[in-house]
Structure formats: structure tokens, C-alpha cells
Amino acid sequence: MRTKYLKLKETLSSFKKVLVAYSGGVDSTYLLYAAREILGEKNVLAVIAQSPTYPVEEVEAAIKVADALDVECRLIETKEFDDENFLCNSTDRCFYCKKELFSRLKMLADEKGIEHIVDGSNYDDRADYRPGSRAKKELGVRSPLQEVGLTKTEIRDLSKEAGLPTWDKPSMACLSSRIPYGTRIDEGILKMVGEGEKYLRSLGLKQLRVRHHNNIARIEVDQHSLPKIMEGDVMDGIVKKFEDLGYVYVTLDLKGYRSGSMNEGFHGK
């Protein structure tokens, strides 16, 4: 891990000045921290994308962390909802979403005279189906954490050592990833999913997903949280909340939470 950190330091030092695609998650927060430590706050710009695909509370939390790091933070609005290629939700949906994001980041970087755009992809991300990585290549976005081989666990360890509040933050992803390929992306669906997940977190549950299957909500939580969620009063409250959101059936996935479960059985890498 130390060797990888030294490689990260060397990589970031060669950039001089960077724009960080920042979400407030574990990876992008550590990348932002490392960039500030190595390049200085005046040479780092954090940019958060606002969109119906990302919960407002996540954006607010990200801004607080950036402020605590004393890094300039900008908000931009992405327009993926104007792109039919995104809305139709094909297996390449993530490519069109990331292309929109990185295109806007590139325009801002050019405006600010910043040559390098970096994102927080880590080494483990290579194992999942991620068509968005094609957009990175097309637009010249770099992933320093991934390039030096830092895994999620190592990034959490480094974040804890650095005193970052995100070191144990649950993994988060764009809300559109909760919708099966082929089901059209709709702001109403994203709101249902987002409100459902917000309610589950209010119960003390951390790592979770609400997968949307038309009138069925498939809830994923960590294996150790399964007993809690199945307690009578808790379960009754969840059912009522999700029925109020518009779901007819509320199900619990007994395999538990796993990142990218919508990609299971899909071999389009």
C-alpha cells in the first residue's frame, strides 16, 4: 500500500494542476485529499455534478467535506436527461452519462486552464462491467487510484489514517443503476428509489440498495443486517413506506447487498 501511495504521489505531482470529478464518496474524497496534499489547495478544483440521478443529501455532504479540506468546489448541472441514448437505458447507459459529465468537466477545465481531469475509479472497479470507462478514454480523463493499483480496502485504510470522515462510508452509485437495462429512466422512478433508500438509512442500515423492478422493490442490505430488517415492527414500517411510494410488492434479496447486481449474468465487458 505504501508503494502504491508513493506511485500516486509521483503521478499527481506530474499533473501540476487538476480538476477532480468529485462525488463525496470514499474514492473521490481520498483522491481530492491526496491531490490537495501533493499539489496544494490552489492547484486543485473539485467539481460536483448535480442531477436527478444523485441524491441531494449526497451533494450537500460532499460540499461539507470539500470545505473542510479547504478546496475550491464547484457545482455543475449535467444534462443526461436530454439524451435519448441515456433515457432508453441500454447496456451502454453509463457511457452516455459519463460522456455528458466528462464533456462538461473538460469545458470547465479548458476555461480554467487546467490540463488534467481525474476521477476516483479504483483498481477493483475493473472487475465490474463499466461502459463509462470508454468515455474516460475518449475524453482523456485519468484515474490515478486505479493506475497505481489501489483497491477499495486500501483506500479506506489510507482515508482512515488521514482522518477523513468518509473512510467507512458505504459505497454509493448513480440511482439509475437501480433500474434494469431496458426499463426507461424516469425521474419519478429515481425519486421512488431515492426516497426508499433514504428511509432505510434512517433505520440505521448502511450498505444497501433498492432495485426497481416495475411494481416490485427488491431491497439489498448487508448480510448482518438481514435479521434487523426482518424484525416485525421494522418490516411493517418498510412495507408501509414502500407501498406509499407506489410499490405493490416489497421484497428482500436473501443474497444481500452486492455492488453491480444489475450486471449479474451480463457478459458485455
The string of DSSP codes covering 125-184 is GGGS--THHHHHHHHT-B-HHHHTT--HHHHHHHHHHHT-TTTTPPP---GGGGS-TTSP
Same domain flag for 71 and 141: yes
pLDDT of residue 156: 97
Locate cell 483497491: which residue? 151
Q: For residue 158, what are the domain limits?
A: 2-162
Is residue 158 within 8 A of residue 30, CB to CB? The reply is yes
Indicate if 30 and 153 belong to the same structural domain. yes
Locate the DSSP E strands across the chain: 18-21, 44-50, 72-77, 116-118, 208-213, 216-221, 249-252
Model pLDDT, residue 127: 76
Q: Which domain CATH number covers 35?
A: 3.40.50.620
Q: Tell me which of 103, 133, 162 is where a domain ends.
A: 162
Q: Which three cell numbers stand for residue 201?
A: 438509512
Domain match, 90 and 157 both: yes
Please give the C-alpha separations between residue 203 and each of 219, 228, 253, in angstroms, as whole numbers.
14, 9, 18
- Kindly state whether residues 58 and 145 are assigned to the same domain: yes
* pLDDT for position 263: 67
112 within domain boundaries: yes
**Are 89 and 219 part of one and the same domain?**
no
Say yes or no: 157 and 197 in one domain: no
Q: What is the CATH number of the domain that holds 189?
A: 3.30.70
Question: Residue 131 has what pLDDT?
Answer: 83
Query: Is the Cβ–Cβ distance between 4 and 148 less than 8 Å?
Result: yes
Task: Work out how many domains the chain is built from and give that number.
Answer: 2
Active site residue 94: no
Q: Are strands 208-213 and 216-221 parallel, antiparallel or unpaired?
A: antiparallel
Same structural domain for residues 116 and 249? Answer: no
**pLDDT for the residue numbered 217:** 98
The catalytic residue among 73, 94, 97, 174 is 174
Which pTM was predicted? 0.91
The reported pLDDT for the residue numbered 262 is 66
Q: Are residues 23 and 127 in the same domain?
A: yes
Asked whether residue 81 is assigned to any structural domain, the reply reads yes
**Domain endpoint, select from 162, 183, 199:** 162
CA distance readout (Å), 144 to 110, 168, 210: 20, 21, 31
Q: Which residues contact 48 (CB under 8 A, 6 or more apart)?
A: 22, 23, 24, 59, 62, 63, 66, 73, 74, 75, 76
Q: Is residue 167 part of a domain?
A: no
* Structure confidence at residue 269 (pLDDT): 39
Cβ distance 183 to 224 under 8 Å?
A: no
Residues 46 and 136 occupy one common structural domain: yes
* Residues paired with residue 140 on neighbouring β-strands, in sequence order: none
Q: What is residue 260's predicted lDDT score, i.e. its pLDDT?
A: 64
In the β-sheet with 249-252, what is the strand arrangement from edge to edge? 208-213, 216-221, 249-252
Contact indicator for 120, 144 with CB cutoff of 8 Å: no
Q: What pLDDT score was predicted for residue 266?
A: 52
> What phi and psi, each to the nearest 5 degrees, are found at residue 225?
-95, -10
Low-confidence ranges of the chain (pLDDT < 50): 267-269
Residues 60 and 132 in one domain: yes
Same structural domain, 14 and 121:
yes
Within-domain flag for 216: yes
